[in-house]
């Protein structure tokens, strides 16, 4: 509040400039503020504090649930039990899905309404795929598979730094000869499908182009002298 801020600034010897519009009754925000009594403000502050506490509890609950139910694979994708996810309370489902999409997709938060739409689709029992936040959510009969959407990975090759390392697509920590280009394998034709990896996951794996156009894909045991470790998951 303004009075508390001013007391703090006085205490540390810091001056300030007042915005005259903050006391100009021609502005609606000023009229609303004047109409609110002190007890109204205190009640709103309590509601905000309670809401913040509830949000933190839900985030912690989502992380705890994922800590028990999520299986993370070295190829950069994860699975959770579909029925257990569907049985979660709506707000918890939303946060679990948010963390999954952030961890295995582009790393960004997505709109809650879109999360609710995906969540309803999962609970509907269909066995197809949806994309959101740079992630692919594949609904199987028993599990949900979440991985990176290959088409959302930047097209330009990333070059391994002079240190011989690079964090590629924010997901894989790669060690390889400096200057080596790294691209998603899905942009290259001719690779046989590995049956134990979902096709969309394989398409999102890093391929390192070495000297003499030799290639390496560590997750598929192709090539040698390079490593690629999946790093990003839950926050």
Query: Tens digit of pLDDT for each residue in 89-143?
Result: 999 999 999 999 999 999 999 999 999 999 999 999 888 999 999 999 999 999 9
Tokens 């939303």 found at: 94
Over residues 13-34, mean pLDDT = 87
The confidence score (pLDDT) of residue 39 equals 65
CA–CA separation, 25 and 12 (whole Å): 31
| Range of lowest pLDDT (21-25, 107-111, 226-230) | 21-25
Q: Which residues pair with 206 in a beta bridge?
A: 184
The confidence score (pLDDT) of residue 190 equals 76
Per-residue pLDDT for 234 more than 80? no
Which of 9, 129, 147 lies closest to 71, judged by CA?
A: 147
Whole-model pTM: value is 0.78
CA–CA separation, 135 and 171 (whole Å): 12
Q: Are 206 and 158 in contact (CB under 8 A)?
A: no
The confidence score (pLDDT) of residue 124 equals 93
Q: At 37, is the secondary structure helix, strand, or coil?
A: coil
Alpha carbon of 227 to those of 26, 111, 174, 206: distances in Å? 65, 35, 6, 10
Segment 47-63, tens digit of pLDDT: 888 778 888 999 999 99
Which of 34, 35, 28, 30 lies closest to 18, judged by CA?
A: 30
Average pLDDT, the chain: 91
Q: Are 94 and 119 in contact (CB under 8 A)?
A: yes
Over residues 209-214, mean pLDDT = 91
Segment 66-93, tens digit of pLDDT: 999 999 999 999 999 999 999 999 999 9
CA–CA separation, 117 and 182 (whole Å): 34
- The share of the chain scoring above pLDDT 70, in percent, equals 97
CA–CA separation, 22 and 29 (whole Å): 8
């Amino acid at each position: 509040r303004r009075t508390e801020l001013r007391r703090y600034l006085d205490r540390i010897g810091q001056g300030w400039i007042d915005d005259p519009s903050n006391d100009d009754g021609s502005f609606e925000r000023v009229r609303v503020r004047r109409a609110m009594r002190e007890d109204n403000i205190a009640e709103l502050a309590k509601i905000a504090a309670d809401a913040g506490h509830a949000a933190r509890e839900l985030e912690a609950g989502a992380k705890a649930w994922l800590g028990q139910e999520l299986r993370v694979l070295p190829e950069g994708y994860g699975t959770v039990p579909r029925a257990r996810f569907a049985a979660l309370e709506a707000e918890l489902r939303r946060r679990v899905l948010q963390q999954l999409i952030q961890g295995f997709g582009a790393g960004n938060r997505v709109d809650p309404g879109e999360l609710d739409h995906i969540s309803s689709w999962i609970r509907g029992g269909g066995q197809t795929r949806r994309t959101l936040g740079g992630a692919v959510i594949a609904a199987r009969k028993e599990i949900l598979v979440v991985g990176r959407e290959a088409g959302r990975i930047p097209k330009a090759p990333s070059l391994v730094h002079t240190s011989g390392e690079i964090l590629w697509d924010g997901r894989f920590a790669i060690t390889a000869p400096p200057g080596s280009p790294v691209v998603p394998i899905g942009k290259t034709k001719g690779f046989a499908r590995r049956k134990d990896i979902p096709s969309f996951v394989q398409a999102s794996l890093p391929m390192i182009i070495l000297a003499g156009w030799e290639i390496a894909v560590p997750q598929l045991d192709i090539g040698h002298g390079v490593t690629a470790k999946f790093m990003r998951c839950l926050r």
